[in-house]
Structure 1
Amino acid sequence: MMNTNLFDTVLVANRGEIAVRIIRTLRALGIRSVAVYSDADAGALHVAHADTAIRLGGAPANESYLDINAVINACKASGAQAVHPGYGFLSENVDFARALEASGIAFIGPPVNSINLMGDKIRSKNHVLSHQVPVVPGIAEPALSDEQLIQAASEVGFPLLIKPSAGGGGKGMFAVESAAQLPEALASARRTARNAFGDDTLFLERLVRNPRHIEVQILADAHGNTVHLGERECSLQRRHQKVIEEAPAPLFENLEHGAQIRERIGAAAIAAAQSVGYVGAGTVEFLASDQNPDEFFFMEMNTRLQVEHPVTEEVVRVNGQKLDLVDWQVRIAAGQPLDFTQDQVGLVGHAIEARLYAEDPAAGFLPSTGTVLQVREPAGVRVDSSLRDGLEISAHYDPMLAKVIAWGTHRAEAVARLDRALAETVVLGVLTNSEYLRLLLADEDVIAGALDTNLIERKMEQFSFRESGPLELALAAHLDYLRRPASTSPWGLRDGWRAQHHHPITRHFDTGNTQAATSLLVTPEGNKASVGGQEHVIRELGSGLEINGVRCGIQHAWDADGTLWLSDRGWNASLRALPREEVLERQLEGLAKESGSYRPEVLSPMPGTVISVQAADGQQVAAGQLLAIVEAMKMEHQLLAPADGIVRLPALKAGDLVKAKQVIATVEPLHTEDKERLA
């Protein structure tokens, strides 16, 4: 559809896959798009796709994407008449909306008053309660201290949930089982909320055991029309962060009277939105009990587009046609009325979405950073993605790379299509959670639609992640041999040739969990790789490799540091070829461990930012004591003392950037004289 009475230029104040997705709709509307970027995102996909792009500042979000003045200046420099904030960053920031209003720039989002009321969970909860919308029991008052929250906790009752008043995405939310756990949990929640949202206000809610997370998408124009577009179920969560979302909700689909509950919860969502004069696209989130789905409770309203909005777009039909929520956000912001009513909204089929993250689930979901070497996205499904070959994945931002969305005529078909799409997805250069997503989709409860927000926590220990075994190591040995530079001199070939026979070539690889040795014998019949007593014959084919007579389907690529990245049907891994010096160093470390000693260095497991230092140089510490906290991709990692001793800290302070494997601290063992002096 052509641009009729809409904006000429819109600035997208976001990054990643959501910025790419918004730019796609702006192009379809004939609207000029302006991207903004940080130094870390100069080569990002959204920058390449936009009609023009403007640099905001440094890599940290507070120097770029969260800098209100920089975004306003970019609007003025580009002639943007409106701003689409996407989600996260400034999307629910009242000061940003006010600054745009003062500059005469349209905000593609709700009015300031709606953001102000619904953007704060305490205010929103108290507000909707006065409009007969059911809420979870708890205490929600502004500016409560830790002492006041601790005193109120006994009335709320345990178990309870600590929630930050600002922000979302599960950040800063902590489940607390007893009064003894509360002080430490409150301190951690405040720190997380302050770092993520700039506001450490907290409140408490009764914890609903094994709840279902149901949210309702609404659209409202400035002419008094509000409709809901059905519900989504987002019960598959890890640490309150959604992993897989779907529409319609299996909870309602599996009930005979599910349509009646959908009508009631949709009406409640509309009532909540209308109570604040809401305009635009928004989502009202509810908790529902699996045992009593007729009873649901308001949690919060997200005054923005949601990450999971594609599943709604895939199933909703208005007069038989699909709906583009970003299209309608732009039209509503430009003053156009909704041209349909609730009676014209229908749901067709089932859609399910998986979030693809740069992380290592087998290693406690540690973030993964690096350069994307190769991308292959699946066909036949919708993919909202920011991926491209050569893309730098930074530790400064959320680790989500893409969303894979599958539609089917029924839920089983949609789930099967999503699983197949994840198996076809290839990302080399960083680790992803694709194998973990496939394990989730294969779970019997997930297949049955018997979901709740604690399912992943209960099931996680049962998941068996594939490790790099003899076959993968044999492949690595062969590929490592092939990547060596050719030489015109027979003495420089380093292929193990001898006068009477070839000598095996020994190489060592770091699998992430252990060090493994391989032995490769080069022969005219094919290279023979021996790993742990197993021999594998590898031959070159015209279009690939053959291992033990079977075509190898494992995708691979080397990075500049000598790490081999592998991908196979959703599984991905890295194998780093170790230089001889490092092999020797590790062997000496192994001997030291056998003698009862330990490695004194405390290393950062990932590149990130130091957000807290909990010990002082020269302080006596105990094994397991917290020394520092490093944050990357919005995930905290605690660095603990490996043994009793005296800690030696470099000039480390909050805000410092650290690299992966960087020494954060050293713990020296206590000698006899130290023990006597400290006794």
Structure 2
Amino acid sequence: MFDTVLIANRGEIACRVIRTVRDMGLRSVAVYSDADADAPHVALADTAVRLGPAVAAESYLNIDRVIAAALASGAGAIHPGYGFLSENATFARACEDAGIVFIGPPTDAIEGMGDKITARATVEARDVPTVPGISRPGLTDAELIAGVTGTDGGAGVEFPVLIKPSAGGGGKGMHVVASPDDLADTLVGARREAASSFGDDTLFIEHFVDTPRHIEVQVMADAHGNVVHLGERECSLQRRHQKVIEEAPSALLDEETRARIGEAACDAARSCGYRGAGTVEFIVSAKRPDLFFFMEMNTRLQVEHPVTELVTGLDLVELQIRVAQGEPLPVSQGDITLTGHAIEARVYAEDPSAGFLPTGGTVTSLRWPTAPGIRVDTGIRAGQVIGSDYDPMLAKVIASGHDRAEAIGRLDAALAGTLLSGLGSDAGEGTNIDFSRYLLADDAVRDGALDTGLLDRIVGDYSVPAMPAEALVVAALTLQDTARDSAHRSGRHGAWAAVDGWRAGADHAPFRSRVAVPGTGPSDLELSGTTDLTLSVRPVDPETTAPPAVMAQVLAVAADGEDTVRVLTVASGDGHPAASRRWTSRTVPDGAGQAVAVSGPDGTWVVRPLGLDRDAADAAGGEDDVLSPMPGTVVAVRVTDGDTVTAGQPLVVLEAMKMEHALTAAHDGIVHLSCATGDKVGAGTVLATVPAALPATVPA
């Protein structure tokens, strides 16, 4: 039916779809905004078409421009990926009107399942169990409140409840409400988020299941009446209803329940005449795993589809394309088996140590893991600018193994060796990589005792991991090597090429360098010795604590491509050497200079050399200033210039990477605004100032 496929998306999913398109012998067409002109998905495709400016509404979400790009490039089909237009019935219909195959379900299925209120009624007709709630279309906030509390004469809904937008997905606009007193205010924010994200502010409310687990089932259907499920995925590790780590299969379900929930998912697909790849999401009580309730159906490929591919051995994108070409499914339910275990971590541009605020910047260095059982789906490259126009997800690191423990171990090791710098002041600070390792190390996660509230319960104990002593020794050695090489390249020789402070008539002084130590701050390093080493660390800021002095022995040094491999031991507190461990290091770009990336079993860190006279930190606004923590758009101003405000009062609401963030007053005072609704602001921009209120004068 077609030999050319346009991928109406960007980033890692565009790259992933393009690879299968090319493997099938088809021609691929990429589309891009001005912000993505040099992005990897553009270079990977056979040809590419510009859509427009960076703003998604004028590029990736502009239906007319996407259709025009398909027609101009000769594409007979469009794969929407996920997000953007993937569940947009108007777009699917526009493809049909233009004679272009939409690689997705029929328009009626998108409309029926895209509206969660309609979806509940549709699947209930097939006896698929649903969560109790209020889901009539067109209800106002007052009517929703009356229905939930029972003041309209109905039975009401037991608290806590979950507010959900009828359109869209990805956790946007979803809020848990524990008390009726909080319902009205939360509905206001949920409607605004739903309207902003999906262009539809319709909401419904359902009971929030106690200790819920989020389990979803992958289904595939063709145009010949065949519907199969490809097993389930556990997606309970999530924040703000946004999945962080997913795995297949779930550790909760037994074989009987797995078969029942799979058949229920197939019934949900049959209820709407589904075709193609889809995911039926269920809520399951951790206390009663035999009970499950339909939540929604995502009428598209899911972010987490790789874990299903790894345990089934099937390429879901290939199946999508073959179904779109009119072929029957090449597998029946009896052919599908789940082998081993797979687990995936999403890599986000966000700072877990600062409340998961989105980050951004230029990717200065990048190294993805390569090891048995590891797959990386990514769409970024070194030198690429990560802005605030799109979702903050950068990549997915996926691991598979014979069992769950092996898969988790492989994923942890893969994340430990991932190098992605430039998005924060320290390695890991600009991404959630270290936080994902923190989750994987949690006892409940290791035991499979999951629920959707687990992440929120343990996040408060997370802190940026300190750089271990061995890694600091390796960094100092690499800095010493770099300084020596630089001296030789400059033409200096002998004593003039030394980097250890040599002077006539005196012993060699130690190598010294001032660096920014991740997790600690600016420190002075002093390295003595060649094989048996002594490293002392002194903090530049006397109020901070430096890592302890270290005695180490280098056992072996080797080269491995760009990396220098060192095996060393560090003396323990009782004087006995610890076990030797392998570390790698390399110099990486850092703005106008060079930094050192160190990787080992404990993680990856980037150490940045500083001038010997550089201050510990740059000032970033006065204590009375309310600063934008990241690039974004001001979507609401909650106060008027000159208002008297109190500590903790919301002042400005900022939207960045599809998330809203309320910025509050640090103390009581009179607010002076420096922004307005609709303003686009950069990180560190002063949005408001609240001078601290002076104490009242007491008469003598």
Relative to structure 1, is the Cα distance of residues 91 and 545 closer, same or farther in structure 2, using a 3 angstrom cutoff?
Answer: closer
CA distance, structure 1, for counterparts of residue 81 and residue 620 of structure 2: 52
CA distance, structure 2, for counterparts of residue 649 and residue 513 of structure 1: 34
Give yes or no for contact 1:428–1:565 (8 Å, CA) kept in 2.
Answer: no
CA distance, structure 2, for counterparts of residue 193 and residue 90 of structure 1: 16
- Of stretches 495-504 and 200-209 in structure 1, the one that deviates more from structure 2 is 495-504
Residue 604 (structure 1) aligned to one of 600, 611, 628: 628
Is 1:323 matched with 2:314? yes
CA distance, structure 1, for counterparts of residue 118 and residue 295 of structure 2: 12
1:501-512 → structure 2 map (5 Å cutoff): none
Is 1:251 matched with 2:252? yes
TM-aligned CA deviation for residue 419 of structure 1: 2.2
Amino acid aligned to 1:302 = N
Counterpart in the other structure of 1:406: 399
Residue 390 (structure 1) aligned to one of 364, 383, 399: 383
Give yes or no for contact 1:220–1:338 (8 Å, CA) kept in 2.
Answer: yes
Give yes or no for contact 1:477–1:529 (8 Å, CA) kept in 2.
Answer: no
Counterpart in the other structure of 1:583: 615
**3-state SS, counterpart of residue 289 of structure 2:** coil
Counterpart in the other structure of 2:196: 195
Amino acid aligned to 1:339 = P
TM-aligned CA deviation for residue 581 of structure 1: 9.0
**3-state SS, counterpart of residue 218 of structure 2:** strand
TM-aligned CA deviation for residue 345 of structure 1: 2.1
Give yes or no for contact 1:111–1:278 (8 Å, CA) kept in 2.
Answer: yes
Structure 2, unaligned runs of 5 or more: 150-155, 539-545, 571-579
Question: TM-score when scaled to structure 1?
Answer: 0.87
Give yes or no for contact 1:647–1:665 (8 Å, CA) kept in 2.
Answer: yes
Question: What is the number of residues matched between the two proteins?
Answer: 651
Amino acid aligned to 1:571 = G
When the two chains are superposed, the root-mean-square deviation of aligned CA atoms in Å is: 3.3
Relative to structure 1, is the Cα distance of residues 545 and 86 closer, same or farther in structure 2, using a 3 angstrom cutoff?
Answer: closer
Give yes or no for contact 1:503–1:521 (8 Å, CA) kept in 2.
Answer: no
Q: Deviations over 1:117-151 (max 9, x none)?
A: 00111110122112211100000122222222222
CA distance, structure 2, for counterparts of residue 234 and residue 504 of structure 1: 52
Q: Deviations over 1:415-444 (max 9, x none)?
A: 222222222322233343222222222222
Counterpart in the other structure of 2:577: none
Counterpart in the other structure of 1:71: 66
Amino acid aligned to 1:396 = D
Counterpart in the other structure of 2:208: 207
Residue 146 (structure 1) aligned to one of 141, 145, 151: 141
Relative to structure 1, is the Cα distance of residues 469 and 345 closer, same or farther in structure 2, using a 3 angstrom cutoff?
Answer: closer
Give yes or no for contact 2:465–2:519 (8 Å, CA) kept in 1.
Answer: no
Relative to structure 1, is the Cα distance of residues 655 and 522 closer, same or farther in structure 2, using a 3 angstrom cutoff?
Answer: farther
CA distance, structure 2, for counterparts of residue 510 and residue 627 of structure 1: 34
Is 1:278 matched with 2:274? yes
TM-aligned CA deviation for residue 556 of structure 1: 5.2
Counterpart in the other structure of 1:457: 456
TM-aligned CA deviation for residue 405 of structure 1: 2.1
Q: Deviations over 1:461-520 (max 9, x none)?
A: 344541347776777777778878867899999987777779999976666877534255
Counterpart in the other structure of 1:264: 260
CA distance, structure 1, for counterparts of residue 98 and residue 620 of structure 2: 65
Is 1:557 matched with 2:564? no
Counterpart in the other structure of 1:571: 603
Structure 1, unaligned runs of 5 or more: 1-5, 253-257, 317-321, 590-597
1:468-617 → structure 2 map (5 Å cutoff): 468=467, 515-518=521-524, 520=526, 530-531=537-538, 532=546, 534-535=548-549, 543=559, 544=564, 552-554=583-585, 557-560=588-591, 564=595, 566=597, 568=599, 569=601, 571-573=603-605, 583=615, 599-617=623-641
Q: Deviations over 1:128-183 (max 9, x none)?
A: 11221110000012222222222222111211111111111111111111012212
TM-aligned CA deviation for residue 451 of structure 1: 1.6
Give yes or no for contact 1:477–1:518 (8 Å, CA) kept in 2.
Answer: no
**3-state SS, counterpart of residue 41 of structure 2:** helix
Relative to structure 1, is the Cα distance of residues 250 and 519 closer, same or farther in structure 2, using a 3 angstrom cutoff?
Answer: closer
Counterpart in the other structure of 1:354: 345
CA distance, structure 1, for counterparts of residue 440 and residue 82 of structure 2: 26
**3-state SS, counterpart of residue 676 of structure 2:** coil
Counterpart in the other structure of 2:169: 168
Counterpart in the other structure of 2:184: 183
CA distance, structure 1, for counterparts of residue 10 and residue 321 of structure 2: 18
Q: Deviations over 1:383-415 (max 9, x none)?
A: 222232223222222222222222222222222
TM-aligned CA deviation for residue 205 of structure 1: 0.6
Residue 668 (structure 1) aligned to one of 658, 678, 691: 691
CA distance, structure 1, for counterparts of residue 597 and residue 460 of structure 2: 24
Q: Provide the identity percentage.
A: 52
CA distance, structure 1, for counterparts of residue 649 and residue 141 of structure 2: 23
Relative to structure 1, is the Cα distance of residues 585 and 647 closer, same or farther in structure 2, using a 3 angstrom cutoff?
Answer: farther
TM-aligned CA deviation for residue 523 of structure 1: 9.3
CA distance, structure 1, for counterparts of residue 196 and residue 464 of structure 2: 32
- Of stretches 532-541 and 612-621 in structure 1, the one that deviates more from structure 2 is 532-541
CA distance, structure 2, for counterparts of residue 655 and residue 495 of structure 1: 55
**3-state SS, counterpart of residue 156 of structure 1:** coil
TM-aligned CA deviation for residue 284 of structure 1: 0.8
Amino acid aligned to 1:378 = T
Counterpart in the other structure of 2:336: 345
